[in-house]
Amino acid sequence: MIELREEADGRLSRSFGGDTLNTAVYLARLGTRVDYITALGDDSWSDELIAAWDAEGVGTDRVLRLPGRLPGLYIIQTDPKGERRFSYWRETAAARLLFKAPEAQPIIESLATYDLIYLSGISLSLYGDEGRARLFSVLRDARSAGKRVAFDTNFRPRGWPDQTVARTAFRQAFECADIILASTEDLDLLFGGTGVDALLAFSDRAEIVLKHPDLTCRVLSKGKEILVPSKPAEDVVDTTAAGDSFAAAYLNARLSGKSPEAAAQSGHRLAGQVVRHRGAIIRRDAMPNP
């Protein structure tokens, strides 16, 4: 999506972002080969997005371009503590049509060719019942072919018609996932007090990465449970993309053969740097050492 960030004097600065896109950019910066699969319009802003993603090393050959459509838009406002508030304009965004447009069929079929497919709860909220059914079918086929799926909970209530629909979709995603990145905040919002239990029911078949409010990361993998703590950054400016960057560093480390504990430490390190800068995507020269 197009990202507008409100400055202290009320002016808006323009960039780009979106939860899975943020993760794709950080994965590319960390050295993982990554393609981003979505839909954009045929407008000049969509052209700019493609150019920016290409410049970051994110593959764009499988971005569907739909005539007459536009990308989504959001505005970030932050309070003095760096906590952010988002306002979205994405009801007619091209990305919503990814699993509806007939011309998207080759792109959808290509999903099963990737070693790892990453999606989020926000991804699920875009597609509607029919689109989600098609997506889950593709994910199941990919896993049957030996591919892996990573799912980040990222629950935003405003993106769903009601909680019941969202709970059903999330449980289906849990069933399809090999790695689940979650936060207690997301789970409490969606499931209430039973959220953590709903997630842990899948710990016998999925690697679970659960982030707590105190920044402790609880990792359950292959019958083992590990707690990986972290200290809050002292100079937080903007918490946008903290979870997205954590996911990128975690997945990059796991794809590189590192242990879940080392992967969580990498996630904490990158997220701790991202929150010290404004916007979803920080400057390249601000990236921490691997």
Mean pLDDT score of the chain, rounded to an integer?
A: 94
Query: Domain segments of the chain: what residues?
Result: 23-35+96-286
Residue 83 pLDDT > 80: no
Nearest to 37 by CA among 116, 125, 133: 116
Of 73-77, 99-103, 144-148, 213-217, give the lowest mean pLDDT range.
Answer: 73-77
Residue 181 backbone zone (phi > 0: left; psi -120 to 50: alpha; other: beta): beta
Tell me the percentage of the chain whose pLDDT exceeds 90. 82
pLDDT at 9: 85
Catalytic: which of 35, 186, 238, 244? 244
Could you tell me which residues are beta bridge partners of residue 267?
none
Q: What's the mean pLDDT in 165-193?
A: 97
Of 3-7, 63-67, 146-150, 180-184, give the lowest mean pLDDT range.
Answer: 3-7
Q: Which amino acid belongs to residue 97?
A: L
pLDDT at 82: 67
Q: What's the mean pLDDT in 237-243?
A: 91
Q: Which amino acid belongs to residue 1?
A: M
Task: Kindly report the number of other CB atoms within 10 A of residue 262's CB atom.
Answer: 15
Strand ranges across the sheet with 116-120:
116-120, 148-152, 179-183, 207-211, 217-221, 224-228
Fold for domain 23-35+96-286? UDP-N-acetylmuramoyl-L-alanine:D-glutamate ligase (3.40.1190)
Is 129 one of the annotated active-site residues of the chain?
A: no
**For residue 288, what is the DSSP state?**
P
Residue 44 pLDDT > 70: yes
Considering only residues 266 and 238, tell me which one the structure prediction assigns the higher pLDDT.
266
Q: For 129-161, what is each residue's pLDDT tens digit?
A: 999 999 999 999 999 999 999 999 999 998 999
**For residue 93, what is the DSSP state?**
B
Contact 128, 165 (CB under 8 A): no
Categorize the per-residue pLDDT at 95 as very low, low, confident or very high, splitting at 50, 70 and 90. very high
pLDDT at 1: 87
Of 167-176, 254-263, 278-287, give the lowest mean pLDDT range.
Answer: 278-287
Q: For 108-127, what is each residue's pLDDT tens digit?
A: 999 999 999 999 999 999 99
The string of DSSP letters for 124-176 reads HHHHHHHHHHHHHHHHHHHHHTT-EEEEE----GGGSS-HHHHHHHHHHHHHH
